[in-house]
Structure 1
Amino acid sequence: PAVPMLSLAPFLLAAASSCPAPLSPDGPVVRPSGTAFCLGPGHTPTAVRSFDWKVQLCSNPSPRVLFTWKNDSRLHHSHRNASDYNRLNFSIKELRLLLKAAQPDDSGTYSLEVTLENSTVRTHRFHVSVLDPVGKPELQLLEQTAALGSGKCRVTLNCSASGGGDVTYTWYRGGEWIPTPRSPFRLEEQIDANGWHIYTCNVSNPVSWAHQSLQLGQGCGSAPQKLGLLPLLTIIVVLKLTLLGTLTGVCVWRRGRKPAEPGPEESLTVYEDV
């Protein structure tokens, strides 16, 4: 028989509408903190004898049971803090787990173990990462000195961002991408002392991104100026033009390789047909 609907406590919602589209198992689930998402099997199994929802958090490697149920018995849950219940809902009808306002501490591996009436055990795992968005980076000019006899300046820039997790740093000189330096948040360059130079630091993680730009003026002792959205727009335009050129080249190459299609056969006149 299918899993029956049980009478749950007020903090456990059984309505399927609260959990409409579960995420696929056995793959990474990356979400920003404060958002809601749902975990569950792609298809609701039938003829269920029992099931267990378990979690192994990154902050606490000891696995624990969240919910467990056996046929002809009530739903049991583990002892959790009252604040956890406010953001953890469960739909027993579809075996779906809803995390409301998820926090980084909720990151870990969630698993649903379902035992069918024929003793077959099916396990669905979800590797969940909840990340805080990155903050706007602080881009600083640490050093700016003259390189003797070369007409160039040695500059050292430092980029730091608060919050977030799994942060990646990307540097741009004007609209040109700079290969990642040895220290991803610190950049050392030699620049023309008589030119104007714009440097942009972009910080990102799988759920967010932010940037900051500095303009270095002429002369090795000039004070840098922070810039707004213009450098980022320049970078986006350059990337789009590069992508468009690549796609155009691929289309032309494919068109050149495609053999010409034979034209329609000429129809015979009545006399030729006879």
Structure 2
Amino acid sequence: SALGSPKCREETVAAGAELRLVPERPPLGWVRLDWRVIPDRGNQHRILTADRNKSRVSSSSSFLGRAFYNAENLSLWITRVTTADSGVYKADFQAPSGSVVSICFHVSVWEPLGQLLLEANVLHKEQDRCNLSLLCSVPGASNLSYSWSCTGGPLGTLKPQPQLELQVLGDTDPTVCACNASNPVSWSKATTDVTAACHSATGFLDILPWWAVALILLLVLAIFIAVIVTCHWCRKRRQDPPAGQAEQPMTVYEEVGKPRTGQPPPRNGTSETTMGEVTIYASITKAQGPSRPPDPECCTIYTTIQPSRKLPRCLTAGSPSASQPPSVKKKRLDPALVSTAYTEV
């Protein structure tokens, strides 16, 4: 069984490089050494085994061709390491009694940093002040440390984070900011001229503050809504005439004496006929509401007119007084002197 729980020594290595683990102060009288690994993702397995009194060394298949043992300092060498090789490595020294003393190493394999990207975005520009944001990033990398440095006057506290916000005055000297990103095995640096970035942003939206742009957009939207509401109200008012405006009665006059060739009798109107001293007229009022085609089922009013000094009476068919006048009963009238006016209602 292992004696105690020893504290592991930290080791960092770049991916693709060589890992060397040398145990310090190994125990005396050991007879067997086993190098083992507990990967960050996986189970513990043996790398190689070495006997003190024999030159026999056996390696596991997972590290075959990559793991080597140095008998002079009892060290372990692993070539072409990858991030999958990160984990806890142990050197287990077995005594003749069977007890085991372990020396462990915590190994971290890091990918070297690629090209660093530094982007400058102008947030707001007003008169002689320019607010901008700097973003520092490395594609595909994680767990990085950042640091900033800028030339010129003081720009405030530069926090160790990937994004930096600062303000540049228009009368200041050219300001150059640098971002440095690093991990335990490599680092990368990029610079940018923030003064030039502010001068290049001369758009309308950059000159006006954000609240002014928002106010202009709200004003335009309010005007647009007001125009739509006004047009809708005017159109509705034009379609609906004012209440109380009634159409005046209309009087239609028509002469009934001589038939008109090719002219049908009037419909739904009034007629005035003059035959000698005879006149027929009527007043009608146009009905309110939308026009509609006449009802196919309509009534016809007949009136028999006799020229005389007195005005004839218009009689409706079917009424008690619709019988022939006394003058017609007493003597026969010349058909040419009798006229009949009718209308459909």
Instruction: Say if 1:171 and 1:178, in contact at 8 Å, map to a contact too.
Output: no
- The correspondence for 2:66, drawn from 87, 95, 120, is 87
Residue 109 of structure 1: how far off its partner (Å):
0.5
Amino acid at match of 2:61: H
**Counterparts of 1:186 and 1:217, CA distance in 2:** 17
Report deviation, 1:179: 2.9
1:54 aligned residue = 36
**Secondary structure of residue in 1 paired with 2:84:** helix
Residues 17, 79 of structure 2: 8 Å contact kept: yes
Would the alpha carbon gap of residues 145 and 85 (structure 1) be closer, same or farther in structure 2, given more than 3 Å must change?
same
- CA 1:219 to 1:122, structure 2 compared with 1: closer, same or farther past 3 Å? closer
Stretches of structure 2 that go unaligned for 5 or more consecutive residues are: 1-6, 202-345
Q: Which of 206, 209, 213 matches 2:184?
A: 206
Question: Following superposition of structure 1 onto structure 2, how do residues 197-236 of structure 1 map, counting pairs within 5 Å?
Answer: 197-217=175-195, 220-222=198-200
RMSD: 2.9
TM-score by length of 2: 0.49
The runs of 5 or more residues in structure 1 that have no matched partner are 1-24, 224-274
Offset of residue 168 of structure 1: 0.6
Structure 2 residue 135 is matched with structure 1 residue 135: no
- Is 1:101 matched up with 2:80? yes
**Does the 8 Å contact 1:172/1:178 carry over to 2?**
no
Change beyond 3 A, Cα 1:220–1:67: closer
1:166 pairs with 2:143: yes
Contact 2:59 2:67 in 1 (8 A): no
> Once the two structures are superposed, what CA deviation does each residue of 1:82-121 show, in whole Å capped at 9, x if it has no partner?
xx42322123564321012322221111001111114442
Q: For residue 237 of structure 1, what is the aligned residue in structure 2? A: none
The range that moved more, 65-74 or 31-40, is 65-74
Alpha-carbon distance, 1:77 to partner: 3.4
CA distance in 2, matches of 1:193, 1:28: 49
Q: Which amino acid aligns with 1:68?
A: T
> Is the aligned partner of 1:180 residue 2:159?
yes
Bigger proportion of residues as strand = 1
Is the contact made by 2:8 and 2:106 (CA closer than 8 Å) also made in structure 1?
yes
Aligned pair count reads 191
What amino acid does structure 1 have at the position aligned with 2:106? H
Task: Give, as a single letter, the amino acid of the residue that structure 1 aligns with 2:162.
Answer: F
CA–CA distance in structure 2, aligned partners of residues 194 and 219 of structure 1: 14
Post-superposition Cα deviations, 1:48-106, rounded to whole Å, max 9, x if no partner, equal 2333211011232x2112223568885443332xxx42322123564321012322221
CA distance, structure 2, for counterparts of residue 93 and residue 146 of structure 1: 68
For 1:96 and 1:219, how far apart are their aligned partners in 2? 54
Residue 67 of structure 1 aligns with which residue? 48
**Partners of 2:106 and 2:196 in 1: CA distance:** 51
* TM-score normalized with structure 1 length: 0.60
Question: Are the aligned partners of 1:164 and 1:205 in contact in 2 as well (CA < 8 Å)?
Answer: no
